[in-house]
Amino acid sequence: MRKINLVLILIILCFGCLCAQTTDTEMEHPAVPDSVMIQREKEILSEYNFRSANTLEEVARKLLIADIDRWKSYLGLEPENKKLDSMSLQKLGIAPYRALLAQQYSVYGFTELSTITEAAASLNMPIKKMKQMLGLPDSISRKWDHNSLQALNFTPQQVEKIHQEFTDDRVGYGASVTAVGMLTVFIALLVTSLVISQLIHLNRPPKIKHAVIKVSADGKLKSASATLNHNVIVAAITALHIYQQSIEDRRRLVLTFRRTPTNQWRASAVLSMPNREMGSKRR
């Protein structure tokens, strides 16, 4: 019984390792439908002229791979093992399409199965600018961000070409972005200053009404509204004259009642006391 239990445990552990290995492989290489795989292998055969029977060294030469060790590491192979170079793709368990994807990743940093977002992040390029240069409609929309280059009928070579164009025009692009940012800030400051300058009209003090009738100091009429009647003007001047006369009378009364008090006894020099002089001894 113990032997049977040990065998079952070993089988379960092996099955778990296989499942984990399969999961890791699917994470590293996105799942591709069989129909797409077959179609791409036909295109690879016609374009690069290699198949599963070719050796790893022959495939590297046909794909124009300069750094074979790096390419082998992307394939999950040991880069220092030179014996693998003489083995066929079929013997190594590598499909031709997988070899092509590894070549694209080693050269560009992304593959034709990468999304627009992944390609833009790999090239350090604004995703909106990439979508615009690729000619996608409504480049501001995010509906294209999670679509692969293959689904959008683009190749890594095309993406690399537009990235090169973007790099060549990076100075102009940066200058235009800076100019737009400065212009936006300037317009915002201008609008803010205009709004602040108009705030004084919200709490404006009432206007001082000027006199309709102007009279000189000697009581003569200087100016008056043309719509006023002469009787009204005469009455206004008379009222002003009476008011000024009453003010003068009040001032006189105030001066009379508020006169500075004086001591008449002291003013008449009574305090000199002449009797003292008469009674003083003469020398």
pLDDT in tens, 19-39: 444 333 333 455 566 676 778
Q: Residue 34 — left, alpha, or beta (φ > 0 → left; ψ -120 to 50 → alpha)? A: alpha
CA torsion through residues 192, 197, 201, 204, sign: positive
Nearest-angstrom CA–CA distance, 210 and 227: 16
| Percent of the chain as helix, strand, coil, to the nearest 5 | 65, 5, 35
The pLDDT value given to residue 41 = 81
Report how far apart, in Å, the C-alpha atoms of 127 and of each of 58, 72, 141, 192, 209 are.
37, 30, 11, 33, 66
The pLDDT value given to residue 20 = 40
The pLDDT value given to residue 137 = 86
Listed by start position, the domains of the chain span 23-108, 113-196
Low-confidence ranges of the chain (pLDDT < 70): 1-34, 36, 170, 173, 208-213, 215, 217-229, 254-283
Taking the complete model, does pTM exceed 0.75, yes or no? no
The pLDDT value given to residue 187 = 92
